[in-house]
C-alpha cells in the first residue's frame, strides 16, 4: 500500500482518552463486518488487549426500526440472523471472546445501551469499523460525545473498502466524478502497495469474567440463534402487512435465499476460492449471461461483511500472478477486480456527497428538471413482472422469488423503469432494497443513478438499453426468460427477441394471443424518444 493510502487506511477517529481500569475490559462492536478474518478493528483490538492484558468482549445490535427505515430486505435480515450464531461460536473458539447480541430497535437506543453496557462492565475502550451512511455517522458522532464524557475511548477504523474513502483523489484533491479515471488511479495505488490483511491474534487466557447484560440480550450460541429467529419473524410479520409487498411470497423467497447463501465466513471464503479456481478465468465473457451462474455470488457476503473485500482482491491477484506471471495481465481477472473497484467507487462517492443518503440526485439539475412519472399501475406492473417485456419480467420475477438479480438485468430493469416508463429512479431503488439479499445503499444508489443518467455515468443519457436486443445478446436461446416465465416456453426465440413479432403474436388474433401474458406495455422506440426529449429539456 502506498504511503498516502496507508496513512489514510490507518487513520482512526478516536476520542483518545484511556482510563486504566485494572484489569481493563475492551469491547469490539460488530456492525457490517460479521467476520473474524481480515477485520481491521478486531485485529487492532486484539493486539491492544494482548498488550494490556485486557479482557475482551464483543457486541452486535439487532435494530429492527432502523432496518425498516432503510428498507432492508427480509432475506438480508435473515442472512444476518443466520450469521450471528456462527460468528459467536468462532469468536469463542478461536479468540475466546463472548459475543453479546442485544435488541435495540433504533439507533438512539443503541447509544443508551452501549453506554450502559460499558458502565456495567467497566469497559474503557470500544473499537468498530466505519460505516458511511448518514444515520450511522450521526449515531457514531453522538455516541462519541457521550463516551468522551465518561472517559471511554471509541476508535473507528476504515475497513469496508479495499482502499479507504478519500484516499483516491484527482490532482487537485477532489473526488473523481466518473469511474474510469478513478479506477486507473485505484489500480496504480494498489500496484505499488503492500496491502496487508489483518489477522486477529488470540487474546490472553483470562477471559469471560461474568458479564452484566441487559434483559433483551443473548450471549450463548443457542440464545443468539433464538433471539435472531424471533426478531426475524417479527420483521417478517411487519413486512407481510405492507401492501406494496403483498405479491412477494416471503416464505418461498427465504427458502431460496437460505439455499443459495449458506451463512458464515467459512462458506464465503470457500466460495471465493472456488470462484478463483475456475469461473474467474472466463469472467469477462460469461459474467453477462444471466442463465449461467458465472459470477462470484459474493455480494450478499460482502454486504454484511462476512467476507473481506481485500481478501477478494488478494485472491484474484494471486491467481493473476500464478497463471500469468508477475507482469501478467488477464482480461478476465482484471474485469473482476474492476467490479470490486466499482464497489469501492460508490462508497467513495457517498462519502464525498453525503446528500445522496437523502436520495438526492448526484447530478443536482436532474432533480429540478426531469418530470418523473409516479404512475402506480405501471410501477406495479414492473414490480410484479407483468410489463409484457420478457427479459424485464423474467428478471423481476427472479428477484421476487430469490432475493437476487444478475448485474446485467439490474441495469436492464432499472433502465426500463427510468427511461421506458420515465418513473422516478427512487421508487426502483427502494424496491430493490426491499428485495435484495445483497442490498447495499452505496452500490444500489450508485447503480440506480447510473442507469437513470442522474449519477456518475459517463455515457450520454440517450444511450438507452433496448430490452429486446439485450435479451438477444445476453439470453440468446431464451433459457433465462423461459425459466422465469414458463408460460412463454412455446414461443420461438426469434419471436421472443423481437418487439414487433411478439406484440403481433400476443395481440388479439395473434398466434399466442391465448397465453396468460400481457402485450408489451410500451413501444420501446417511442418511449425512448420521449425519454430523450425529457432529458434534453
Ligand atoms: P461479481 O460479478 O462476482 O462481482 C464481484 C463483486 O464486485 C460483487 O460481489 C460486488 O460486491 C462488486 N460489484 C460488482 N458489480 C458491481 C457494481 N456494478 N457496482 C458495485 N459493486 C459491484 N451490488 C450490491 O452489492 N448491492 C446492491 O444493492 C446493488 N444494487 C445494484 C443496483 C443496480 C441498479 C445495479 C445496476 C447494480 C447493483 N449492484 C449492487 C451491483 C451488482 O449488480 C452486484 O454487485 C452483482 O450483481 C453481485 O453479484 P456477484 O457477487 O456475483 O458479483
The answer to whether the CB of 414 is under 6 A from ligand 1 is: yes
pLDDT of 3 strictly over 50: no
- Residue 96 alpha carbon to ligand 1 centre in Å: 35
- Residues in contact with 346: Cβ distance below 8 Å, sequence separation at least 6, in sequence order: 442, 443, 445, 446, 447
pLDDT in tens, 26-63: 999 999 999 999 999 999 999 999 999 999 999 999 99
Residues designated catalytic: 339, 342, 372, 407, 425, 448
Q: How confident is the model at residue 322 (pLDDT cuts 50, 70, 90)?
A: confident
Q: Is 447 in the pocket of ligand 1 (CB under 6 A)?
A: yes
Mutating to test ligand 1, I would choose from 162, 268, 299 the residue with most ligand atoms within 8 A of its C-beta, which is 299
2 pLDDT exceeds 50?
Answer: no
CA 75 – CA 304 distance, rounded (Å) = 12
Mean pLDDT for 12-16 is 49
CB of 73 sitting under 6 A from ligand 1: no
Query: Quick one: pLDDT at residue 487?
Result: 97
Question: What distance in angstroms lies between residue 463's CA and the mean position of ligand 1's atoms?
Answer: 21
Length of the chain: 537
Q: What is the pLDDT of residue 134?
A: 85
Query: What is the model's pTM?
Result: 0.95
Question: Residue 109 pLDDT > 50, yes or no?
Answer: yes
Q: What's the burial of 348, exposed, middle or buried (CB within 10 Å: 0-12/13-18/19+)? A: buried
Which tens digits make up the pLDDT trace of 433-478? 999 999 999 999 999 999 999 999 777 777 899 999 999 999 999 9
Q: Using CA atoms, how far apart are residues 260 and 275, in angstroms rounded to an integer?
A: 15
Which one, of 436, 428, 441, lies nearest residue 74 by Cα? 436
Q: Indicate the SS3 state at residue 32.
A: coil
Residue 154, SS3?
strand
* pLDDT for 204: 63
Please tell me the distance from the alpha carbon of residue 206 to that of residue 203, in angstroms, as a whole number: 8
Q: Is the CB of 332 under 6 A from ligand 1?
A: no
Cell of 78: 435473515
Q: Tell me the pLDDT band of 195, cut-offs 50, 70 and 90.
A: confident
pLDDT in tens, 513-534: 999 999 999 999 999 999 999 9
CA separation for the pair 252, 348 (Å, rounded): 36
| Residue environment code for 273-300, b if the CB has 16+ CB neighbours within 10 A, otherwise e | eebbeebbbebeeebbbbbeebbbbbbb
Among 290, 343, 465, the mutation site with the greatest number of ligand 1 atoms within 8 A of its Cβ is 343
- Cβ-Cβ contacts under 8 Å for 496 (sequence gap 6 or more): 390, 471, 478, 481, 488, 502
pLDDT tens per residue across span 128-139: 999 999 889 999
- Compute the average pLDDT of residues 214-240: 96
pLDDT tens digits for range 393-417: 999 999 999 999 999 999 999 999 9
Greater pLDDT, 165 or 194: 165
CB atoms within 10 A of CB 123: 26
Residue 205 has what pLDDT? Answer: 62
CA distances to 66, 218, 519 from 60, rounded to whole Å, are: 14, 10, 49
Backbone angles phi, psi at 93, to 5 degrees: -70, -45
Q: Is the CB of 299 under 6 A from ligand 1?
A: yes
The Cα 48–Cα 249 span in angstroms is 48
Q: Is 404 helix (H, G, I), strand (E, B) or coil?
A: coil
Separation CA 81–CA 299 (nearest Å): 17
Query: How far away, in angstroms, is 301 Cα from ligand 1 center?
Result: 11
Q: Which residue has the CA at smallest separation from atom 33 of ligand 1?
A: 447
131 has which bridge partners?
A: none
CA-proximal residue: ligand 1, atom 10 (nearest): 299
The minimum-distance atom of ligand 1 relative to the CA of 414 is 34
Give percent of the chain above pLDDT 70.
Answer: 94
Q: Is the Cβ–Cβ distance between 285 and 473 less than 8 Å?
A: no
Q: What is the whole-number distance in angstroms between the Cα of residue 299 and the centre of ligand 1? A: 6
CA distances from 236 to 68, 249, 250, 430 (A): 11, 11, 8, 17
pLDDT above 80: residue 9: no
Q: How crowded is the C-beta side of 130, counted as CA atoms within 13 Å?
A: 20
Read off the pLDDT band of 327 (50, 70, 90): low
Tell me: pLDDT of 260 over 90.
yes
The yes-or-no verdict on residue 149 having pLDDT over 50 is yes
Residue 486 DSSP code: G
Range 100-123 average pLDDT? 94
The predicted pLDDT at position 328 comes to 62
Mean pLDDT on 200-229: 86
pLDDT tens, position by position, 474-489:
999 999 999 999 999 9
**Chain mean pLDDT for the chain:** 92
Amino acid at each position: 500500500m502506498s504511503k498516502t493510502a496507508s496513512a489514510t487506511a490507518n487513520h482512526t477517529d478516536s476520542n483518545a482518552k484511556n482510563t486504566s481500569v485494572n484489569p481493563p475490559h475492551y469491547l469490539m462492536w460488530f456492525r457490517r463486518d460479521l467476520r473474524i478474518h481480515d477485520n481491521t478493528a478486531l485485529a487492532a483490538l486484539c493486539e491492544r488487549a494482548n498488550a494490556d492484558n485486557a479482557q475482551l468482549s464483543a457486541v452486535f445490535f439487532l435494530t429492527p426500526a432502523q432496518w425498516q427505515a432503510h428498507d432492508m430486505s427480509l432475506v438480508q435480515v435473515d442472512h444476518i440472523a443466520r450469521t450471528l450464531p456462527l460468528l459467536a461460536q468462532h469468536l469463542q473458539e478461536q479468540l475466546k471472546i463472548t459475543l453479546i447480541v442485544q435488541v435495540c430497535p433504533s439507533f438512539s437506543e443503541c447509544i443508551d445501551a452501549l453506554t450502559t453496557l460499558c458502565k456495567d462492565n467497566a469497559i474503557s475502550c470500544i473499537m468498530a469499523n466505519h460505516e458511511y451512511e448518514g444515520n450511522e455517522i450521526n449515531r457514531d458522532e453522538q455516541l462519541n460525545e457521550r463516551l468522551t464524557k465518561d472517559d471511554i475511548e471509541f476508535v473507528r477504523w476504515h475497513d469496508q473498502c479495499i482502499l479507504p474513502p478519500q484516499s483516491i483523489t484527482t490532482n487537485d484533491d477532489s473526488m473523481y466524478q466518473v469511474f474510469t479515471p478513478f479506477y486507473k488511479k485505484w489500480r496504480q495505488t494498489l500496484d505499488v502497495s503492500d496491502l496487508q490483511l489483518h489477522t486477529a491474534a488470540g487474546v490472553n487466557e483470562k477471559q469471560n469474567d461474568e458479564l452484566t447484560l441487559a434483559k433483551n440480550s443473548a450471549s450463548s450460541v443457542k440464545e443468539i440463534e433464538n433471539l435472531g429467529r424471533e426478531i426475524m419473524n417479527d420483521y417478517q410479520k411487519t413486512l407481510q402487512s405492507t401492501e406494496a409487498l403483498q405479491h412477494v411470497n416471503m416464505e418461498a423467497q427465504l427458502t431460496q435465499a437460505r439455499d443459495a447463501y449458506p451463512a458464515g465466513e467459512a462458506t464465503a471464503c470457500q466460495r471465493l476460492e472456488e470462484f478463483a479456481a475456475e469461473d474467474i478465468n472466463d469472467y469477462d465473457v460469461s459474467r453477462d449471461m444471466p442463465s449461467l451462474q458465472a459470477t462470484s455470488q459474493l455480494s450478499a457476503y460482502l454486504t454484511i461483511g462476512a467476507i473481506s473485500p481485500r481478501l477478494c482482491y488478494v485472491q484474484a491477484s494471486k491467481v493473476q500472478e500464478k497463471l500469468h506471471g508477475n507482469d501478467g495481465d488477464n482480461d478476465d481477472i482484471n474485469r473482476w477486480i474492476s467490479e470490486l473497484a466499482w464497489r469501492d467507487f460508490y462508497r467513495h462517492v457517498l462519502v464525498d456527497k453525503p446528500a445522496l443518503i437523502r436520495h438526492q440526485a448526484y447530478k443536482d439539475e436532474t432533480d429540478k428538471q426531469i418530470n418523473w412519472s409516479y404512475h402506480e399501475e405501471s410501477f406495479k406492473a414492473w414490480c410484479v413482472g407483468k410489463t409484457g417485456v420478457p427479459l424485464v419480467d423474467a428478471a423481476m420475477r427472479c428477484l421476487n422469488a430469490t432475493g437476487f438479480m444478475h448485474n446485467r438485468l439490474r441495469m436492464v430493469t432499472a433502465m426500463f423503469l427510468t427511461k421506458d416508463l420515465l418513473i422516478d429512479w427512487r421508487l426502483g431503488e427502494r424496491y430493490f432494497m426491499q428485495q435484495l439479499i445483497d442490498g447495499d445503499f452505496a452500490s444500489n444508489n450508485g447503480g440506480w443513478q447510473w442507469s437513470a443518467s442522474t449519477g456518475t455515468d459517463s455515457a450520454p443519457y440517450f444511450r438507452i438499453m433496448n430490452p429486446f436486443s439485450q435479451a438477444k445478446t445476453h439470453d440468446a436461446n431464451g433459457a433465462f426468460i423461459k425459466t422465469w416465465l414458463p408460460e412463454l416456453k412455446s414461443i420461438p426465440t426469434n419471436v421472443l427477441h423481437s418487439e414487433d413479432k411478439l406484440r403481433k403474436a400476443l395481440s388479439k388474433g395473434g398466434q399466442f394471443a391465448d397465453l396468460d401474458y400481457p402485450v408489451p406495455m410500451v413501444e420501446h422506440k417511442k418511449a425512448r424518444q420521449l425519454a430523450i426529449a425529457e432529458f434534453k429539456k
